[in-house]
Amino acid sequence: MISLSPLGLLAIKSIVITGLAWMAYLFTKQLSPKIRYFTLQLFFFILALLPLSIEVFPEWHWPYTSSFIQPVAQPQDASIGSMDLAVVTAAIDSAKTCINSAEKSIVEDLYTLKPDAEASTSSAMTWRMTTHVIWMLGIVIFLFQLGRELFLLRRLAQSRVEIDNHPVLDKLWSSLAAVNPLPSPKFILDNSTQIPFTFGFRNPVIVLPPGAILWPEERLKAVLLHEAAHINHQDFGPNIIRRLACCFFWWNYPIWILSKQVQLESEKRADHWVISHEISPYDYATQLVQITRLLQTPKFSMVSSIGHASQLRNRVEYVIKEDSSTPVRMGIFSKFTLLSLGCLTILSACFQTEARSALSSHTALQQQLHAPVDQLTPLIWQTGEEENAAAVTPLQELLSHDSAQVRSLAAWALGEIKDQSSFTALQPLLEDEDSWVQEMAIRSIGELEVPASLELINPFLYAPHLHLRLAAVQAIADIGVPRGTTLLWNAIQTWPPAQRTAAIQKIGEYGNYCAVPLLSDLLREEPASNLDAIVGLGKLKAKESLSTLLPLLSHKDSSVRVASAKSLGMIGDARALHHLLPLLRDESSEVREVTVWALDEIRA
């Protein structure tokens, strides 16, 4: 399954839906403001509900099974005997240490406790947690601002400074009632208001500046008709929905820009309603210019207002053109495109990376032991990824499954869990008829780090299949005991050069400082033909290898000097500094470049 945090998935969903909304906005540019407004408002409605998508929207999932196991029937003749777990357990304490080191070094901590991986995981978790905290903090701040505005509007609605029995207002609402019945609003004069606006649901409120009473009748009529249009369209609720979407995804700047565009379409829609009631487009455009020129932008972001200075030019052009333009109708192609974008938006909102289940992974696996392979593999993969120790028993049962893919994946999961009780259960797979199952069993036994398993793994160092030999090298390197070094040395000497190089790379990647003697012995023969062994010492980060690497800095072959300098940089021991400095004058430019890098690494 795809591994993604809930907030990470939520962020991706918001970006995708915002992109689809912008596509819809650009596609409907030639259509009427009403169509554009409703289309874009639907996207904001989905965005506002997106944080609750798990509960609100139905789920659909993208099943993604990463199977790296390719079953190929390869008979294996090696006969491996079983061992008693009690004997293995008794042998662990006495065989697990490297006797070559007088005291426990930093390198031992590095490769027995694997702090690099833990540090990397810890760093990723810290970064993720920091991002989540910043996101949540931003949401709290913006929601606080939203709540403050709602509180101020509620307090304003309860104000006693109300206009009663104004002849223009009475005449206007009488004429509007004959065209389209509207609820009677509450008119309020507010000294802090510079521009008229309206808000409210069942009991709408129109707020006017104190000087509005003295306005000419034509201007007051245009203003009140415009606010009446917003009341008729019930725009206050959609305004809050857009603001909520912006609060939840405050970091997504395109959402804020799109919200302003929707507000513009809302105003155009109200303008269209006004010019269809008693006022000519040119007279209304004149009033718009005068009102916006004299007044300021409203102090509340979620109210509907006639005056937005930034939108003036666009609205005036629309009002004037509306008188002479022919409305563009939606064709079949337009309807199909908008429907497709809507479906993609709904699917994006419903998408989940993994199915929610009340059952834990091990319980689900236990109940699905006899399910088809395509249902079993995701469950096995999940238990391995979670390192769920409670799944050991069902995984051990699956080691005898008819499918080689299931056996291999179950063996891998047991290796990830690292429960030493799985050692006995994994042993029969070393004789499996499928060589890929054998490989996974070898790797998993190595992950268990049981020293006594060396006797089982050693025969595979001489197996006919290269992938089995390399798996054995990796397993012995994982176990990391001195005797394993001897076994590796005796085996890889007989391998062809190319295969020996691959084995050395495995030792460098998976081994610990116990492998230093093995790689050092390889370098005593001919360093120029064992460059991978030099780099392998660097990957091991074992300070014990300095005695082997430092003399190689003066080797006649420049490739040996390059590899040695690189390895010393990986190890990072300050004792190598004065040995590296002369290489800054080396005749080889590559040696000089790598030396500069190594010095920087050591000083860091």
Mean pLDDT of 276-282: 77
Whether residue 72 has pLDDT greater than 60:
no
Range with lowest mean pLDDT among 165-179, 467-481, 569-583: 165-179
| Residue 137 pLDDT greater than 90, yes or no | yes
Q: For residues 174 and 474, give the distance between their C-alpha atoms in angstroms, rounded to a whole number.
A: 89
Q: How far apart are CA 527 and CA 553, in angstroms?
A: 11
Scanning the structure block, which residue is given the tokens 């590796």?
488
Which is more confident, 153 or 347?
153
Mean pLDDT of all residues in 520-546? 71
For 574, which DSSP code? G
434 pLDDT exceeds 80? yes
More confident of the two residues 515 and 575: 575
Domains of the chain: residue spans and CATH: 140-322 (no CATH), 513-604 (1.25.10.10)
Residue 490: per-residue pLDDT: 73
- % residues pLDDT > 70 (the chain): 69
The chain-wide mean pLDDT, for the chain, equals: 75
Instruction: Give me the pLDDT at residue 117, please.
Output: 42
Residue with tokens 């199909």: 336
Q: Could you tell me which residue, 46 or 306, shows the higher pLDDT?
A: 46
Residue-level pLDDT at 140: 93
Q: How far is residue 494's CA from residue 294's CA, in Å, rounded to a whole number?
A: 93
pLDDT for the residue 92? 38
E strand intervals along 218-283: none
Which tokens go with 448? 């268990």
What the block records as the tokens of 122 is: 């810890």
Lowest mean pLDDT: which of 339-343, 393-397, 549-553? Answer: 339-343
Instruction: Return the pLDDT at 246.
Output: 92
Distance separating alpha carbons of residues 46 and 418, to the nearest angstrom:
44
Nearest-CA neighbor of 295 among 216, 236, 212?
212
In terms of average pLDDT, the best of 163-172, 360-369, 392-401 is 392-401
CB 427 within 8 A of CB 54: no
Are 107 and 512 in contact by the 8 Å Cβ rule? The answer is yes
Q: What is the pLDDT of residue 244?
A: 92
Q: What are phi and psi of 376, to 5 degrees?
A: -75, -45
Comparing CA positions, the residue from 469, 466, 467, 465 lying closest to residue 457 is 469
Mean pLDDT of 337-365: 68
pLDDT at residue number 141: 93
| pLDDT attached to residue 61 | 44
Q: Which of 97-106, 328-337, 384-393, 536-545 has the lowest mean pLDDT?
A: 97-106
Q: How far is CA 128 from CA 7, 125, 387, in A?
A: 10, 5, 21
Q: Whose CA is closest to 440, among 418, 463, 462, 472?
A: 472
DSSP class of 58? P
pLDDT exceeds cutoff 90 at 180: no
Helix (H) or strand (E) holding 370: none
- The CA distance from 507 to 497, in Å, is 15
Interval 387-416 mean pLDDT: 89
Give the tokens for residue 469: 């030999």
Q: Which amino acid is at 212?
A: A
**Range 147-150 contact pairs with CB under 8 angstroms and sequence separation of 24 or more:** 149/300, 149/301, 149/302, 150/240, 150/302
The C-alpha atoms of residue 418 and residue 478 are separated, in whole angstroms, by 12
Q: Residues 6 or more apart from 460 whose CB is under 8 A from it?
A: 78, 430, 438, 442, 468, 469, 471, 472
Cα–Cα distance between 142 and 112 in angstroms, integer? 48
